[in-house]
Amino acid sequence: MNPFYLVIPAAGIGLRSGRTGPKQFETVGGHSLLTLTLSRFLGHPALAGVMVALAPNQSPPDDFPVDPRIRLCVGGDTRALSVLKACQALPAPADAWVLVHDAARPFVTHDDIDALLDSLADDRAVYLVGAVADTLRTHDGETLARERIHRVLTPQGARLGTLIRALGLPVTGTDEVSYLQAAGVPCVAVESVGHNLKITHPGDWALADALARQPGF
């Protein structure tokens, strides 16, 4: 299995979450959200190192893991800039594999991580997706075919040098795949087998807390 590095952009605020401060420092299941998310990766045998991008003058939460593989850097004003800065700060060669993961997704599974690592190849990037269960319609009433759509999740991964090159492009995107595709990198979707909830809206907190308190989590 490919060794990999992890990048977590955690410099944002999460305005849609209904909390007054950065959501990644809020408590879920008795732990900070950032620490809970990190814990999903620290036990993976292929993890080589971690770079967490924080806002300027921001300290990690009190329960932040003590692990020599974890390093911190200062992020940017956007997600893309935070990821770029974290990638540039990683003490890794350009051909190292890097997975980028949302700080607000604390339920990613090792099965999903393994599936991504197994799908990595020299000439392509990978990203996790989820099936769409609901009927989707545009605002003007057009119904979209579910079999042609998936939800784009994280982690998303590529070679470190490829990520740095793509994230430096003058384009606007909401995830790493947006930049990788703009750079002409083939991107392969890998379907998630887990419950990869992203805490985004106020109603997500209670569900996340209940999931995090389940036995065996």
* pLDDT at site 164: 98
Task: Give a yes or no: residue 11 inside a domain.
Answer: yes
| Alpha carbons 126 and 120: distance in angstroms, whole number | 6
Task: Give a yes or no: residue 148 inside a domain.
Answer: yes
- Full-model pTM: 0.94
* pLDDT at site 14: 56
Which residues does 176 contact at the CB level (< 8 Å), separation at least 6?
80, 83, 100, 125, 127, 156, 158, 163, 166, 167
Q: Give me the CATH number covering residue 189.
A: 3.90.550.10
Assess contact for 126 and 210: CB atoms under 8 A.
no
Task: Give a yes or no: residue 15 inside a domain.
Answer: yes
Task: Give a yes or no: residue 217 inside a domain.
Answer: no
Task: Give a yes or no: residue 57 inside a domain.
Answer: yes
Task: Give a yes or no: residue 98 inside a domain.
Answer: yes
Residue 146: helix, strand or coil by DSSP? helix
* pLDDT at site 171: 92
Burial class of 152 by CB neighbour count within 10 A (0 to 12, 13 to 18, 19+): middle
Task: Give a yes or no: residue 165 inside a domain.
Answer: yes
* pLDDT at site 16: 56
* pLDDT at site 15: 54
Kindly report, residue by residue over 8-55, the tens digit of the pLDDT.
Answer: 999 976 555 455 568 889 999 999 999 999 999 999 999 999 999 999
Mean pLDDT in consecutive groups of 10 residues from the start of the chain, 217 residues: 94 61 87 96 97 95 96 96 98 97 96 96 93 86 84 96 97 95 97 89 87 81
* Number of structural domains the chain divides into: 1
Q: Which residue range forms the structural domain that includes residue 167?
A: 4-212
Residues paired with 24 in a beta bridge: none
